[in-house]
Structure 1
Amino acid sequence: MSDWRRIDIDAFDPESGRLTAQDLIPPYTTVVTLADLQPKISQLRSLSSSGDVNSAINLATTDPPYSADENTKAEYFRAVLDTLKQVRQADITNIVKSLDSKQHDVLIKFLYKGMSIPEGQKQGGILLTWFEKLTQIAGVTPVVHYLSDRNTV
């Protein structure tokens, strides 16, 4: 016991709840499948093709599929990217102003995801324009939330 400073006291305490990697995964009540999300994707594409991009962006950033598998998330992201591409640069500011702070957080997640994958990098200019307008209106708060949030789109 001469080296008492190196003893891990928590190892001897049965109530010292050590966290595992499984404990850090957020609990989801339901897992979203592509079949569940297909009506929302269809509605999103319908709104954006009819020219109602404000409603389409509002729909896309409301209740994103956090608990879906990667293929479902990728399909949803393609629909969101198609919508983001159709917006004129002059309208981006008004659309971003119409969103609330939670929608800003979701939008920044979509922008970062777009900048990280090849099909989104092809549209880098428009994504950077969205990013610029979003940070001008909402500040860096959505970026900080993106960096600290474990939920991915």
Structure 2
Amino acid sequence: MTDWRRIDIDAFDPESRLKTEDLLPPYTTQVTLAELQPKITQLRNLSTSGDISAAVQLAMQDPPYSADGATKAAYFQAVLDTLSQVRQADIANIVKQLSLDQEAVLVKYLYKGMSVPEGQRQGGILLAWFEKLTQASGIAPITHYLSDRRTV
């Protein structure tokens, strides 16, 4: 008898193989810059009017996962502008108001910011956000970031 531990059971049922597309949530439509522009405008209006807490919550709500690279870059720039306008003393209060999903999205934007030249210029403020987030929530948002395949 053959060693049963070495049998490839997927060879018997090729339709049961797990595909990469199966791991990602289904997106029916691709978000365009024209569709996202009102949200970017609202985000900039909130941050310039001084309502930074509402601006951060809006930015972390429903990020454009299904957008192309240029659209994601435009939205990221608006998020980066919002995050960099916050005083370091106010960061802890804003982080406490975020939900778990919003914290996970914030971590995604912080890591993206630290990896691109535009964000590296704002490195001190991004690290302050990261510090306050980990103090308030621990490593849970980082774990969500590492396990989530969606990118911002």
TM-score, normalization by structure 1: 0.91
Structure 1 gap segments, 5+ residues each? none
CA change 1:145–1:9 in 2 (3 A) is closer
Cα distance in 2, alignment partners of residues 152 and 9 from structure 1: 33
Cα distance in 2, alignment partners of residues 30 and 58 from structure 1: 24
Asked if residue 10 in structure 1 is aligned to residue 10 in structure 2, the reply is yes
Structure-2 residue corresponding to 1:47: 46
CA change 1:92–1:7 in 2 (3 A) is closer
Structure-1 residue corresponding to 2:72: 73
Q: Which deviates further from its counterpart, 86-95 or 17-26? A: 17-26
Cα deviation 1:29-54 (Å, max 9, x = unaligned): 22111010000000001111111111
Runs of 4+ in 1 over 2 A off after TM superposition: 4-10, 19-26
Cα distance in 2, alignment partners of residues 100 and 81 from structure 1: 19
Calculate the aligned-residue CA RMSD, in Å: 1.6
Cα distance in 1, alignment partners of residues 58 and 33 from structure 2: 17
Amino acid at match of 1:67: S
Percentage of pairs with the same residue: 68
How far off its partner does 1:18 sit? 1.3
CA change 1:29–1:90 in 2 (3 A) is same
Secondary structure of the corresponding residue to residue 68 of structure 1: coil
Cα distance in 1, alignment partners of residues 67 and 136 from structure 2: 30
Structure-2 residue corresponding to 1:120: 119
Cα distance in 2, alignment partners of residues 8 and 95 from structure 1: 51
Structure-2 residue corresponding to 1:94: 93
Cα deviation 1:53-106 (Å, max 9, x = unaligned): 111001001111111111111100000000011000000011001111111111
Structure-2 residue corresponding to 1:32: 31
Structure 2 gap segments, 5+ residues each? none
Q: How many residues align?
A: 150
Specify the structure having the higher radius of gyration (Cα).
Answer: 1
How far off its partner does 1:151 sit? 1.0
